Every structure is written in C-alpha cells, then in structure tokens.
Amino acid sequence: MATTELKPNLNQVSKQYSLFWKIWPEYVVLGSERRQVGFEVELIGFHSSDPSHIDPACAVCHRVQHVLLLIAAAAVEEIGHQAQDSVRHEITHDAQSVVCSPGWGNRACVAVSIHILHKHGFDQPVSQAETDFLEGLRTHLLELGLSQR
Ligand SMILES: [Zn+2]
C-alpha cells in the first residue's frame, strides 16, 4: 500500500489511537563490548487509557496493530527504494502482545518495530547508510503527522 492511500485517514486514526514512535539503538554484544549496529524505530498506539486493559484477544488492539503495520510497510516501501544496498530493514511485531509500560504513560499499548540493520556483517558499527535510512524514516513519519517521543 502506498502512503498516499493511507494519508487521508491517517490524521484521524493517528489521534484516535494516539500513535507515536520512538527510536532505540540496536546492539550486539561482542565479548565485553556492546556495539551499536543499527536502529529500531518502534511505532506505538493504544485505544484504552485503562492500565489494566491487557487483553491479547482485544479486537481493537489488533486493529491498532494492523494500522501500525500498514504505516510501517508503507514507510519502508517509500524509504527503501532510495536506501543504499547495504541496509536491511525488517518489520516485526508480536501479535499476542499488548504491553503496559510506565514509559508510555501506563497504558496498554501495541507496538510494531522497524529494524534498520546491515545487510552484510551484522556486527559492523552503525553506518552512514543506516543513519540516512533512519533520517528518511523520521522525516516520513513526521510528515504523516506521527509524533516522536
Ligand atoms: Zn484493546
């Protein structure tokens, strides 16, 4: 799905499910060294402010997760073709997972992650190509009206 198809509804959906995203470093441990090898961009949303709403079977949570997957796929499609060959991207999510985190205001959230990694040599330090991919993603998500936290 192209982002343009997603865009008309996105502002509304984004507010309705309080969508936001965060950047995390991806590490590998090499002996005693912890080396950053890439990035994880985590897209997060929730629909209930009840902290005890942790129901893996909740249909609305699954819907929020589906929207996040669409956003992630569209973003990667948009950025991916400009990215250098050395970058690998991967979208992951846990379909069973509704998590409650103090960092997210103690709400029950669902999340989808975009991992930005090396295509070859997974343990190489963060490259300029990965950083460029991240910047592209950041710009894209901000353009979609999703806020960074
Ligand atoms: Zn729910």
Give, for all 149 residues of the chain, the pLDDT tens digit: 455 556 657 878 888 888 999 999 999 999 999 999 999 999 999 888 887 887 778 888 888 999 999 999 999 998 888 888 899 999 999 877 776 666 666 678 889 999 999 999 999 999 999 999 999 999 999 988 899 98
- Cα 101 from Cα 105, distance rounded (Å): 7
- Cα 111 from Cα 65, distance rounded (Å): 7
CA of 102 to the centre of ligand 1 (A): 17
CA of 70 to the centre of ligand 1 (A): 18
CA of 78 to the centre of ligand 1 (A): 29
CA of 49 to the centre of ligand 1 (A): 10
CA of 50 to the centre of ligand 1 (A): 10
Q: Is 96 exposed, middle or buried (0-12, 13-18, 19+ CB in 10 A)?
A: exposed
DSSP state letter for 112: E
Q: Which residues surround ligand 1, an ion (CB under 5 A)?
A: 58, 60-61
CA of 53 to the centre of ligand 1 (A): 6
